[in-house]
Structure 1
Amino acid sequence: MSLRSSFTLLQVVPELETGGAEQSAIDIAQAVVRAGGTALVATRGGRMTARLKADGARLAQMPVQTKNPLVMLGNAARLASLIRQEKVSIVHARSRAPAFAALWAARTTGTPFVATYHGVYKAQSGLKRWYNAVMTRGDLVIANSDYTRDHVLAEHGIDPDKVVTIPRGVDFDRFNPSLVTPSRVEALRAAWGIADRHARTRILLPGRLTRIKGHLTIIEAAATLKAQGRRDFLILFAGDDQGRAGYSEELAAAIGKAGLTDEVRIVGHCDDMPAAYLLADLAILPTTVPESFGRAAVEPQAMGRTVIASAHGGTTETVLHGVTGWLVPPGDAGAWAKAIASAIDQGPGRRAEMGHAGQKRARQLYSVDAMCAATLSAYQRVLEARR
């Protein structure tokens, strides 16, 4: 799809460290540039900024991650000035706190406003529901899964025509097993200190070190497996604690107390996730809170790896039980121990068969190109409605 050279997109995202919203912002910015438009991203910044600039997009650095009302007002003024200066065509917010400033700036300048619901935001009070609803007050809401769309409609009661589902996309040029060299896998093996023990099944839990990712459930499940006499597995927690030192220390203590230092390891942030998935034999996503989409369930499938995931949220759409992986009750350590044991016992042949099925399905449904094309079409729809 091509865009008019005058088309300018301004995305507003708290930061560019890691995560699905951040990756989607970069993907869409690149798509706009490739289609002939201009892409701006207002953000605090972060480790992904270099890639944003390399793709031809421009950074507008400001503290949009804040929830301080006075700073938010300042952000609104800065964004309004940026919109006028750059003749922005559409403002696209990807988080609630910056959405307030972005919406105010868009309304002040008469600019169309789009928001992506990247998560299922729970509301325990009317005030919190009002806070969450900022994402629905513009021209269009993009939901990253049907699960998320159903939640938005039920929670906010808005016109169904105003909410579209556009699943997150996976970069299949990056997550392509044929493009990952053996040296990259070996480098990661060496960095993580993993001996090449073919008898042990390597299991990867990708994602930030936060409680909702279910690490403690897996530690308990691993303890159950070891108590049953199993020594044929190695579980790797690959993710950044993003300053949550207390939780990472809690995990390390739990691993030590359970006597699992040889079976469960915290390996930290990983810059080469494609190689990490190839180093692993299967991936797990034991989230205790429903993921709205769960890109981490799709990426390993793109790499030909089967997945065990919690049976709730968006993963019930991205993982087909018994076909591309297995769905397990969240937080049930006993059920997770059984699922992991079953996956190990299936053997590499059966896992490869399921991994191939997952790879084929992921490429059909979750390409970044499809996500970008659908998003650019949504922008066109908004602009035409405004005209």
Structure 2
Amino acid sequence: MDNESDHTIEEAAPESKTGAAEARPPTVLQVLPALITGGVERGTVDIAEAIVQAGGRALVVSEGGPMVGELNRAGAEHFVLPLATKNPFAIYKNIAHLSELITREQVDIVHARSRAPAWSAWHAAKRTGRAFITTFHGTYGHTSAAKRWYNSIMTRGERVIAISDFIGGHVHQVYGVSAARIRVVHRGIDMIRFDAANINSERVIHLAEAWRLPDGQPVVMLPGRLTRWKGQSVFIEAVKRLNRPGVQFLMVGSDQGRYDYRRELEQHIEAEGMTGMIHVIDHCDDMPAAYMLTDVVVSASTEPEAFGRVVAEAQALGRPVIATDHGGARETVIDGETGWLTKPGDADSLARAMALALDQSDEDRQAFAERSVAHIRKNFSKDRMCAETLEVYEEVLSERGRTQ
């Protein structure tokens, strides 16, 4: 954490003594548990940067983490609070701290991105009379009434931002939120970072050497943390049924402490005699290069992805993709044009799609690549996500009689 750039809640930033709300750009406060890694965190930093570039003031409250430095470089301000806790007493205590910050820093909009911090932020917004917006990032667990009540805080925004049409439908159907309050803003891909022209061959060669991949063999990659619903076991079974010697298959992602599951996967690979074909690789810090190293990118999730960043990033780089036919993948993948959709949990369906992808002619692969890049650039860019989020802010402020 960049301690020199962090504020405690008791500190006031230099810009805090501004004039009346109507005479200054808006101030937006985003709250989330921490700034370590992940889609929620990436979206927070991207939106903070967009707020600053639009002339506003961006504040973020979290427990901190490695991405604080990036946030500060974007011109935003970070404040430290224990927002990751689900302890009801800590959540209640955070209400007072957030209320003080909101008042002192003249915050106009409170934007909650996760459930535990959202409870504190909602009460603080109500106490101070500020606008409250949420972003619904996933389906969350909702099998019991208690879980649905806990999750329901994410439906209490004056606007509820859903990261896909799939999530928007889920919020409406499960929680009864009216369509009038839901705004679908798809997650955005950084089209500069995920641009093939910006990835030099040295980065790709470095990964190939680090992962000890033989020269000249096609590579199929399943990126994603090692957790059962990401479908690694289905992937292994599909590789077995594909029966394609001379192809390297990678499962890239951290086990995040799930050592037993990692060992289970390794034993499955060993039992099938595919140790030299399927490789379990830890977290990769250079995913753009990893995609460029790869001939086919797979998402085998057995449960619906809220959005599915992997297949969007891969398409931005012109990689053929295979995803399961549910959730956000139905929005990001154009079946048969930018990739293939397969039956969830079906190893035969996945094996057939991998065969189609590997057997593409150079002309077909080039056509897929061009369509994929254009599709992501048009519909799922970071710039579009930021612009649409700022429009939601403007909409809420306008309703409250506050103009930018």
Q: Distance in 1 between matches of 2:33 and 2:249?
A: 32
Q: In the alignment, is residue 225 of structure 1 matched against residue 239 of structure 2?
A: no
CA 1:76/1:241 → structure 2, altered by over 3 Å: closer, same or farther? farther
Q: Distance in 2 between matches of 1:220 and 1:45?
A: 40
Identify which of 153, 157, 161 aligns with 2:172.
Answer: 153
Alignment correspondent of 2:14: none
Identify which of 282, 291, 296 aligns with 1:282.
Answer: 296
SS at match of 1:350: helix
Alignment correspondent of 2:101: 82
Q: Distance in 2 between matches of 1:206 and 1:338?
A: 19
Alignment correspondent of 2:273: 259
Q: Do the aligned partners of 1:5 and 1:36 also contact (CA within 8 Å) in 2? A: no
Identify which of 309, 321, 344 aligns with 2:335.
Answer: 321
Q: Give structure 1 stretches of 5+ with no counterpart.
A: none
Q: In the alignment, is residue 377 of structure 1 matched against residue 394 of structure 2?
A: no
Superposed displacement of residue 348, structure 1: 4.3
SS at match of 2:96: helix
CA 1:45/1:348 → structure 2, altered by over 3 Å: closer, same or farther? farther
Task: Tell me the alpha carbon deviations over residues 92-151 of structure 1, each in whole angstroms, 9 at most, x when there is no partner.
Answer: 111112211111111111111100111123422222222221111121100111111111
Task: Tell me the alpha carbon deviations over residues 138-168 of structure 1, each in whole angstroms, 9 at most, x when there is no partner.
Answer: 2110011111111111112222111111111
SS at match of 1:175: coil
Q: Give structure 2 stretches of 5+ with no counterpart.
A: 1-21
Task: Tell me the alpha carbon deviations over residues 185-211 of structure 1, each in whole angstroms, 9 at most, x when there is no partner.
Answer: 112212222222x2x221121222222
SS at match of 2:301: coil
Q: Distance in 2 between matches of 1:4 and 1:208?
A: 47
Q: Distance in 2 between matches of 1:289 and 1:4?
A: 48
CA 1:26/1:64 → structure 2, altered by over 3 Å: closer, same or farther? same
Q: Distance in 2 between matches of 1:50 and 1:187?
A: 26
Alignment correspondent of 1:93: 112
Cα RMSD after superposing both structures: 1.7
Q: Do the aligned partners of 1:235 and 1:263 also contact (CA within 8 Å) in 2? A: yes
Identify which of 194, 198, 205 aligns with 2:213.
Answer: 194
Please identify, of 313-322 and 266-275, the stretch whose mean Cα deviation from structure 2 is larger.
Answer: 266-275
Query: Could you tell me which amino acid in structure 2 is paired with residue 166 of structure 1?
Result: V
SS at match of 2:322: strand
Identify which of 171, 194, 197 aligns with 1:175.
Answer: 194
Q: Distance in 2 between matches of 1:218 and 1:286?
A: 7
Q: Do the aligned partners of 1:306 and 1:352 also contact (CA within 8 Å) in 2? A: no
Alignment correspondent of 2:344: 330
Query: Could you tell me which amino acid in structure 1 is paired with residue 347 of structure 2?
Result: A
Query: Could you tell me which amino acid in structure 2 is paired with residue 299 of structure 1?
Result: E
* Number of residue pairs aligned between Structure 1 and Structure 2: 380
SS at match of 2:360: helix
Alignment correspondent of 1:292: 306
CA 1:263/1:46 → structure 2, altered by over 3 Å: closer, same or farther? farther
Please identify, of 128-137 and 361-370, the stretch whose mean Cα deviation from structure 2 is larger.
Answer: 128-137
Task: Tell me the alpha carbon deviations over residues 263-318 of structure 1, each in whole angstroms, 9 at most, x when there is no partner.
Answer: 11122111211111111111100011101111111110000101000000010111
Superposed displacement of residue 68, structure 1: 1.4
Q: Distance in 2 between matches of 1:288 and 1:374?
A: 30
Query: Could you tell me which amino acid in structure 2 is paired with residue 54 of structure 1?
Result: R
Query: Could you tell me which amino acid in structure 1 is paired with residue 331 of structure 2?
Result: E
SS at match of 2:229: helix
SS at match of 2:359: helix
Identify which of 188, 196, 209 aligns with 2:226.
Answer: 209
Query: Could you tell me which amino acid in structure 2 is paired with residue 268 of structure 1?
Result: D
Alignment correspondent of 1:306: 320
Please identify, of 244-253 and 156-165, the stretch whose mean Cα deviation from structure 2 is larger.
Answer: 244-253
Task: Tell me the alpha carbon deviations over residues 354-374 of structure 1, each in whole angstroms, 9 at most, x when there is no partner.
Answer: 122111111111111111011
Q: Where do 1:130-149 residues align within 5 Å?
A: 130-149=149-168
Query: Could you tell me which amino acid in structure 2 is paired with residue 237 of structure 1?
Result: M
Task: Tell me the alpha carbon deviations over residues 191-233 of structure 1, each in whole angstroms, 9 at most, x when there is no partner.
Answer: 222222x2x221121222222111111011112233xxx2132
Query: Could you tell me which amino acid in structure 2 is paired with residue 210 of structure 1?
Result: T
Q: In the alignment, is residue 362 of structure 1 matched against residue 376 of structure 2?
A: yes
Q: Do the aligned partners of 1:79 and 1:101 also contact (CA within 8 Å) in 2? A: yes
Query: Could you tell me which amino acid in structure 1 is paired with residue 91 of structure 2?
Result: M
